[in-house]
Structure 1
């Protein structure tokens, strides 16, 4: 089963090649983290190799933080984007919304 999952991720990555890096990362997000988490956190920006991810609340922020290393590897692999890090923040703490 894991082999099939890896094959599907690779094919998704190939299909995203014509998109911007941000669009590729956003498309890869639900695959990298799963549907439930993707519904509660979203990629909002990509700049200088760092992905910005907005979390719905502290519970989901804690979950994201515990998964940081795995998410960075999966996002980079699926989206074929070189990442230098992930910055998580709470939705209510972002002043530009």
Structure 2
């Protein structure tokens, strides 16, 4: 079922900008629970920027960087060569 949803989502995103397509693909690529800890904030020339709620989640997402890049590219139909994660500036933990 999840694969069916991924394919359907990819087709329905065709009219959006590349960044919007990647933002919509984010929760599908990494799952709703994990997606709540990061937000796609930019995209240029194959690089996706994701702002992460704190350093602990930054480490977790970085460990999955390659897998997430492949899934986001496949779902959104956008070239993704790298994901750059950064912690929110107001993270004071």
CA RMSD of aligned residues (A): 1.0
Runs ≥4 residues deviating over 6 A: none
- Identify the match of residue 44 of structure 1 among 21, 41, 45: 41
> What TM-score do the two structures reach when normalised by structure 1?
0.88
**Structure 1: which 5+ runs fail to align?**
none
Whichever structure has more helix as a proportion of its residues is 1
Q: Tell me which of 77, 81, 85 is aligned to 1:88.
A: 85
Aligned length: 90
Distance 2:57 2:33 in 1: 10
* 1:27 corresponding residue in structure 2: 24
Corresponding residue of 1:64:
61
Inter-partner Cα distance in structure 2 for 1:41 and 1:85: 16
Q: Distance in 2 between matches of 1:74 and 1:62?
A: 19
| 2:89 partner SS | helix
Match of 1:10 in 2: 7
Query: What is the TM-score normalised by the length of structure 2?
Result: 0.92
